[in-house]
Amino acid sequence: MRLLSKTTPPPQAKASKMNTTKERYEAFVTKNEPLVRKLQEVANILVFLLPGNTVDGELAQEAGLAAINLFVIYHNLLFEAKKKCALASQTGRKGGLAAAQVAVRASRVSMLPNTTTPPTPPAPTKAPPSQEAAQQTMHPPKDTTSRSALRLALTICAHTEVVAEMVAIRLVGDANKWPVITMIEGLKSFARTWLLTTADGPRVGEGSGDRNTLLGLPRVQHHGCQYPSTSNEPLAGPFSAPPGAMPPSSSSETPAPALNDPTTVMRHTMDYRHRHRRRWSHNNILASVSRSVSRSVSAAVSLPTPQKIVRIGELLHIMRPLVYALCRWRVGAHKWTPLLVSGLMDFFSASCTDIAAAVQAHLQGQGKEGAPNPTLITAMVQAVVGRHVWGMLTVLFGLQAIPAAFAERQNAAMYELYSFEDRAEFNRRRALWMYYLLRDPLFDRLTRPMFAKVAGVLSYIPLVGGLADYAMFSLEYYQKKHFWFSGSSSGR
């Protein structure tokens, strides 16, 4: 026993050895970026060479793909940290251009009435309670360690949930897998709801080059609110920066963004122009006064605010996978109830985006003279059904028509309320509606017979027939797994 105790290394030695190995691996990855990317591509191909005609083969393929995807995210974060470090240490002409872009964007955003930069008072004077509360509300929420760890857990779950479903099928059978699926969806929904409800306050303005620039944008979760592959947030957990790659800075500082990327610069510039084009006019002071008057009127009448409407839509989007899994578990796959409930939740979640813009346009029109403004109910209903459908209803049933001025204000409200990334996220969610074709009972009654007929016709054409058979096989394979067609993950 004494001999064993002498030869066993202490836990501190094991931890230091693991940290050293991790630092060496990160240094190798950041130094050999082209080689690492080639190895990732080769690994993705080699995984599919495993025999997949058995249960163990399919499980090995999915587990290998999940591991490769997690390593790809890890490597991308290391590459991004290296890129930010290189941009932060640039000198000469490139560094001057980056500094000029930061100064121009900061000067633009500082002229906006609804943006504020947290002050740095020279003396620790005591402010009144009202000013302290206002300053606290204007500070962005800090991304604490618990939030970063939870987002990291959501990322790992997104890439391993298919493997967990296959393990559940092998252990308890395909018919009894739904309790496991419901538990996973419940944990994801709880985590995403907590992240949404604890992220109050204004959001960081985009394209400004300054994380202290705040905008009153509603909270929207992107890609399941999982850990992003590229972000301005400090890296946490196992996705840390490589040793020596980041410049020495305090805990409150963040790496400089990639400002000299032409695509990023153009996107941020165009988004700035779209959102703030009305502020460039000579009536920007009157517009700000009318907005403040409309907000005070809405607060007095207790009208729904756009931020609350967007919050309801986000909660519907978060809870939809859990409700769908519960309905599949309790009702079964051959009933239309799960499909209809999921479709209604998706539809109303997407409608909340347009309803919030309609409410914002309605509030802005209340303080302007000569601006025709429909009733709030009319504005919300036309946002749900769409302008073209509402136009046909006005012709058929003589309903109140939507004025052109209100439609322009509603379009401007979309750019004022949502950022470029928010609008891209809304488009991604609507694209996920295609997965309803893979969900039962619509798949058994419509999608499978239709694709079978098309594959049967194409089977007589050389080469094309083989591709049609492979497409039909892939369709059948993905339809068997809930997490492939549920639309609740970032990668799908």
What's the burial of 217, exposed, middle or buried (CB within 10 Å: 0-12/13-18/19+)? buried
Rg (CA), the chain: 27
pTM for the structure as a whole: 0.73
What band does 134 get if pLDDT is binned at 50, 70 and 90? Answer: very low
Residues 92-97, mean pLDDT to the nearest whole number: 55
pLDDT tens by residue, 190-248? 999 998 888 766 665 444 444 444 566 888 888 887 765 444 444 444 444 444 343 33
Q: Count the residues in the chain.
A: 492
Of 228, 51, 45, 69, nearest to 161 by C-alpha is 69
- CB atoms near residue 324 (< 10 Å): 25
Q: Which residues contact 219 (CB under 8 A, 6 or more apart)?
A: 196, 199, 200, 203, 307, 310, 311, 314
pLDDT tens by residue, 285-311? 444 444 554 455 444 446 678 889 999
pLDDT tens by residue, 348-385? 999 999 999 999 888 887 756 555 678 888 888 888 88
Which of 282-291, 339-348, 421-430, 458-467 is predicted least confidently?
A: 282-291
Which of 85-94, 133-142, 377-386 is predicted least confidently?
A: 133-142
Phi, psi angle pair for 88, to nearest 5°: -70, -25
In the chain, % helix, strand, coil (3-state, to 5) comes to 70, 0, 30
Of 276, 314, 275, 280, nearest to 419 by C-alpha is 275
Q: Give the pLDDT of residue 129.
A: 45
Q: Give the pLDDT of residue 21.
A: 84
